[in-house]
């Protein structure tokens, strides 16, 4: 059996200590496998060509089975026996599968023996049965004729046959090859795996995947949703420009659908605020637009008609299959370079080769409508929960289609502020770095597998908490931002000034998962006067976040000397958006006695530490104390009943 992957010089050395666990991103078009390195990081296995993506394809050719990247070329000459796109069919009935989709590989059929079950029928060569050994002759048997003993034993040839496989069986074959590739790379048996699954997977799809993993003899530690897997990389490898409190937009542009998730990340805690799934926007649309563009270019250069998407005849179908394979290389090149990318196909149609180049501008022009649709879907998701682009601090891209820089640029030209951090702004989108969209999910799963493998076997309750349906999976979050307002001045950099009637000190941002604890310190100006005990008053408030919009007229450039004045044009206005805070509910007040103030330049100052503790039900315990050179002062505590949560 041809395996999907192998080790590569580029890959980091795997860890030889601890349990052999892996992370698997099982996509509909591509998959990837991540292992733990000696340094404790997660890295994807790369093949001999340095590719970390494994095509989700299984092809039957005679007596051989090709899996992964070796199966993809079979779509050119052996498409009817090559199975792709099977992940998204897990758990679906045959009657639920659309019948109007163009067929470019083995078609889905109704299983002949299982009612309403989806399956594939492929042609194979059945190996000849092994001849049954003749019984050991007894002493009384008749000796063979000398002439007959020299005749060669007849050898049976393989016979043509048909094989019917369910979607689950195909998934099992593919998953087993992934684990085998990981074992070949690690040099030891895989003890456990975490597999990423899309958020839209229903119970039927989950059950089918679990069955496939069981048939492949994989010990699955957890089925982790894709948003959680991606956020693990963001949490463990944060960008230098990002704050520990941030709102993250996850953009997963898959070949068949667009998945979006809005996450709140609060000092390592991740909470899913909202998510959406849209099949009307997908990476296949990008491929179709580019395939049609290149087909038109081929016809223009060779005068040979070529119709693709859908292809009319066998020659066009084969040309489209070849062009799709070449397009993968073109997209990778465009992602890595600001220049032009080539697209070359040998004997594309009627024996004519096709060689062309496409620059970034033309590439993005062809794909612009898809980029715009992605950004529009993201904006709608934000609006559904009362967010605006200005509230997004980070964008994480998932999938090969999301590696395109044109998509990133479209976000910034459609209302997202320049302060948003993306893998492109950090320069980590390629090369297996922390922002590489093609390896993100697998590496997040590997990190989760590391955590799960470290839980002792006797800690049953902790292990159960990671299972689907656990009560610990039900999380509440704050719906309002929580903080304190001080009438006194606070040193610059320690608190944000606002229109709140005092100095604002952020405690717990909205959409923070509960329970939660945070400690903040800031310097307080206690004013002038004689030495003695002083007090600091603080009010605990819930505030709402908003956006202030201002239209500022842009200044005109004065005409240079000698130039005629043109007719007066209306001044252009630039829209400026700024975050705002508005008081909602005062929860209580607290007064802290400061017994160890320090005098600086005629004014008394001290350092205050405030601890915010918000329980699972929303109750707040606010504790303040003075910090001085000899330690900490006596705490003063304010207890509040449950506050707003979602």
What tokens appear for 415 in the block? 């209302």
> What rounded mean pLDDT belongs to the chain?
85
Query: Is the model's pLDDT at 176 over the cut of 50?
Result: yes
Inform me whether the pLDDT recorded for 233 exceeds 90.
no
Q: How many angstroms from the chain centroid is the CA of residue 308?
A: 31
At 292, the pLDDT band (50, 70, 90 cuts) reads: very high
pLDDT of residue 144: 41
Among 259-268, 351-360, 499-508, 621-630, which is the least confidently predicted range?
499-508
Domains of the chain: 12-128+157-237+434-473 (3.30.420.40), 241-432 (3.90.640.10), 477-490+497-551+575-640 (2.60.34.10)
pLDDT digit string (tens) for 330-350? 998 888 877 899 999 999 999
Cα-based distances in Å from 508 to 49, 114, 486, 565: 48, 55, 16, 56
Token code pair at residue 44 = 């994807």
* pLDDT score at 48: 65
Say which range, 40-49, 205-214, 561-570, has the weakest mean pLDDT: 561-570
Condensed to tens digits (0 to 9), the pLDDT of residues 193-210 reads 999 999 889 999 999 999
Omega into 515 within 30° of 0, i.e. cis?
Answer: yes
Distance CA 32, CA 441 (A): 8
Q: Which residues pair with 508 in a beta bridge?
A: 482
- What's the average model confidence in pLDDT over 422-434? 68
pLDDT tier for residue 494 given thresholds of 50, 70 and 90 = very low
pLDDT the model gives residue 481: 92
- Going by pLDDT thresholds of 50, 70 and 90, the confidence category of residue 492 is very low
Q: Confidence band (pLDDT; 50, 70, 90) for 308? A: very high
State how far the Cα of 224 lies from the Cα of 23, in Å rounded to an integer. 10
Q: For residue 368, what is the enclosing H or E element?
A: helix 360-384
Q: Which residue has the higher pLDDT, 433 or 191?
A: 191
**309 near 104, Cβ under 8 Å?**
no
Mean pLDDT of 525-553: 81
- Which residues fall within 8 angstroms of residue 302, CB to CB, at 6 or more apart? 349, 350, 352, 354
Encode pLDDT of 91-147 as tens digits: 999 999 988 777 789 999 999 999 999 999 999 988 776 665 545 444 333 334 344
* 434, 440, 446, 451 alpha-carbon torsion, rounded to 10°: 70
pLDDT of 248 higher than 60: yes
Which one, of 60, 56, 49, 59, lies nearest residue 25 by Cα?
Answer: 56
Tokens of 163: 């094989």
The CA distance from 488 to 195, in Å, is 52
> Between these two residues, 157 and 470, which has the higher pLDDT value?
157
User: Residue 338, Cα to own-chain centre: how many angstroms?
Assistant: 24
Distance of CA 197 to CAs 64, 250, 437, 601, Å?
30, 15, 16, 61
Which positions ≥6 away from 573 have C-beta within 8 Å?
551, 552, 553, 554
pLDDT value for 297: 96
d(C-alpha 614, C-alpha 102), whole Å: 54
- Residues 388 and 249 sit within 8 Å (Cβ to Cβ): no
Average pLDDT over residues 523-529: 78
Residues 11-39 pLDDT 10s: 567 777 778 999 999 999 999 999 998 88
Pairing mode, strands 220-225 and 192-197: parallel
Q: Name residue, tokens 């089918």.
A: 208
Pair 333, 326: CB distance under 8 Å: no
Tokens of 333: 């090149």
């Amino acid at each position: 059996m041809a395996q999907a992957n192998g080790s590569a010089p580029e890959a980091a050395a795997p860890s030889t200590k601890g349990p052999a666990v892996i992370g698997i991103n099982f996509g509909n078009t591509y998959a990837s496998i991540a292992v733990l390195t000696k340094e404790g990081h997660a890295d994807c296995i790369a093949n001999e060509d340095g590719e970390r993506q494994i095509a989700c394809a299984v092809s039957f050719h005679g007596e051989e089975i090709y899996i992964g990247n070796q199966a993809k070329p079979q779509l050119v000459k052996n498409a009817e026996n090559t199975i792709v796109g099977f992940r998204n069919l897990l758990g679906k009935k045959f009657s639920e599968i659309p019948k109007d989709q163009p067929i470019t590989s083995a078609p889905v059929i109704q299983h002949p023996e299982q009612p309403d079950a989806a399956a594939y029928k492929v042609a194979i060569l059945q190996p000849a049965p092994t001849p049954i050994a003749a019984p050991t002759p007894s002493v009384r048997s008749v000796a063979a004729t000398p002439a007959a003993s020299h005749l060669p034993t007849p050898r049976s040839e393989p016979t043509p046959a048909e094989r019917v496989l369910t979607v689950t069986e195909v998934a099992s074959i593919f998953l087993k090859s992934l684990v085998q590739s990981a074992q070949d790379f690690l040099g030891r048996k895989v003890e456990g795996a975490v597999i990423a699954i899309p958020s839209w997977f229903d119970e039927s799809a989950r059950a089918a995947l679990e069955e496939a993993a069981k048939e492949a003899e994989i010990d699955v530690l957890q089925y982790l949703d894709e948003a959680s897997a991606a956020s693990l990389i963001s949490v463990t490898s944060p960008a230098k420009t990002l704050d520990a409190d941030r709102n993250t937009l996850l953009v997963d542009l898959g070949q068949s659908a667009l998945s979006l998730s809005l996450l709140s990340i609060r000092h390592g805690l991740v909470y899913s605020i909202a998510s959406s799934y849209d099949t009307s926007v997908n990476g296949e649309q990008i491929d179709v637009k580019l395939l049609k563009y290149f087909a038109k270019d081929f016809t223009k250069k060779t005068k040979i008609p070529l119709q693709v998407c859908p292809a009319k005849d066998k020659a066009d179908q084969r040309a489209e299959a070849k062009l799709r394979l070449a397009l993968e290389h073109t997209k990778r090149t465009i992602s890595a370079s600001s220049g032009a990318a080539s697209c070359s196909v040998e004997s594309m149609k009627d024996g004519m080769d096709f060689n062309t180049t496409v620059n970034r501008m033309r590439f993005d022009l062809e794909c612009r409508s898809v980029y715009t649709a992605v950004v529009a879907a993201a904006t709608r998701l934000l609006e559904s929960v009362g967010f605006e682009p200005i509230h997004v601090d980070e964008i994480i891209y998932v999938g090969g289609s999301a590696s395109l820089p044109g998509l990133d640029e479209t976000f910034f030209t459609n209302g997202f502020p320049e302060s948003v951090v993306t893998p492109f702004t950090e320069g980590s989108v390629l090369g297996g770095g922390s922002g590489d969209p093609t390896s993100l999910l697998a590496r997040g799963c590997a990190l989760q597998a590391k955590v799960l493998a470290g839980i002792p076997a006797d800690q049953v309750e902790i292990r159960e908490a990671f299972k689907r349906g656990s009560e610990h999976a039900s999380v509440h979050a704050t719906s309002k931002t929580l903080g304190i307002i001080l009438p006194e001045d606070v040193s610059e950099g320690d608190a944000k000034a606002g229109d709140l009637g005092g100095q604002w000190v952020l405690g717990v941002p909205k959409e923070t998962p509960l329970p939660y604890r945070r400690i903040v310190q800031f310097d307080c100006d206690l004013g002038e006067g004689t030495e003695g005990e002083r007090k600091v008053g603080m009010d605990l408030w819930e505030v709402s976040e908003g956006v202030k919009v201002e239209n500022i007229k842009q200044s005109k450039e004065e005409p240079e000397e000698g130039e005629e004045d043109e007719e007066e044009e209306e001044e252009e206005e630039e829209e400026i958006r700024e975050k705002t805070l508005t008081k909602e509910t005062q929860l209580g007040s607290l007064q802290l006695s400061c017994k160890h103030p320090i005098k600086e330049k005629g004014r008394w100052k001290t350092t205050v530490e405030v601890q915010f503790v918000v329980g699972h039900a929303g109750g707040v315990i606010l504790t303040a104390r003075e910090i001085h050179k000899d330690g900490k002062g006596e705490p003063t505590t304010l207890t509040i009943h449950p506050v707003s949560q979602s």
